[in-house]
Structure 1
Amino acid sequence: MPNYLPILLLWLIGSAAAGQVIKKDSSAADKNERPSKPRFIAELDQRFFYFKDRRQPLFSNSTNVWGARAGLLWPSNIKTGIGFYYASHAVDGIWGGYQAIGRRLTYATVYVEPYFYRRRYWELSAPIEVGAGRVQYSFTHADQAQSRSSRSLIVPLTVGLSVSLKFPMLWGFKPLRWFGVNLITGYRYTLRDEVVSPQITLNGLYYSISPAIFLDRIYADYEIWRKKHRQRKGKR
């Protein structure tokens, strides 16, 4: 979290500096932004998973999960698309006389993300995902002389809540408004998986704090620039 304090501070300073602009155009700031047509979106989606383990406190440790999403943002303010996620980390559990020492998780998802609000300076949405993939466990025997691995199918279901803070445009510099900060939290329930022991599951809470790029704003600003460019070219 401390790594993102400069980004949050920049957003707060920018919002204060843009206060006069907001007051002059408060009606626009209170309206939802909507793309004029379906827009392609793509984003990195790094998350931190808490895997449910009855032997440890709920928030005792987190696992870094790397991911990415791509899809469409519709004029109805709903995002749909696909995602892919990967994680590899150490585990501790007994399965069939073997000691589990590692877990590799890979899965793909389809998602729908309806927006409750898409305002000028912030957004609120609820990403819902269902996926399929596999988990691979690595094992070693107590005498360290034998090792093996085991793979199984997983079907995760994830429901979350996402908040995005958008940087305001300062001193007429539009590119600044293309960026912001995104915060997501939610719960992951695995519809099907084979676990090391009944005490350890793939279920659990997750969260994400990351920079955000708003491609729909880049599209909109480009269309405005292209329209003005054509008008100037036509007058020559």
Structure 2
Amino acid sequence: MESAQSILLVEDDERLAELVSSFLKGQGFRVRTVTNGPDALAALRSEPPDCVVLDILLPGMDGIEVCRQARAIYPGWILMLTALDEDIHEVVALDTGADDYLTKPVRPHVLLSRLRALFRRATRGAAAPSHDSRWLPSVKLRIDGLLRTVSLADTPVHLTDAEFDLLWLLARNAPEVLSRDALLSALRGIEHDGLDRSIDMRISKLRRKLGDEQPPHRIIKTVRGRGYFCAP
């Protein structure tokens, strides 16, 4: 019989940790709980789980730093919980290496839905096939899917994993217009709820790194009411 999927819950609020742990166990998951960053990193080394549910506001070492260090030793899924109701923290979480995030208060069935969406994705980085590259001659942009590198007019452009995945997805589908819903579904396995601004903010950061901040944009273009596309 297939073993239950394992979750490492990193949460210092004992009452919330107990509620979330009990709920997930009731849904068939194996759950281990730790209350701080160093213990989380130690758990990832000793017994890596299938997924980490990681709070941002932790004592001693915050979840952003835990996530950053975890990515050197842990290739699995990371879903971050944050009580910080600011878009920038959500984007920072994703750009640090998290695969998804939820804002508190935690709604158990939404958490369950997000976990299931992660597990439906075969591997991290599924948006980027390994043996492929794209050359966009109109803007002299080269993207290597194997090395996960980007250059613009032969000058390297340094992107986070999350930024690369978004650019790669747009470039692979150029010049097709991709909606926010399509982008979120491909990158995070969820539907756009009309409120999530992480795609827009990541597009803005990409444009800045590609020297394409001022309209009319040369590389990543906006189609009002429809979405974004990459210049062919």
**Class of the TM-score when normalised by the shorter of the 2 chains:** under 0.3
Tell me which protein shows more helix as a share of its residues.
Answer: 2
TM-score normalized by structure 2? 0.22
Question: Rg larger in 1 or in 2?
Answer: 1
Tell me which protein shows more strand as a share of its residues.
Answer: 1
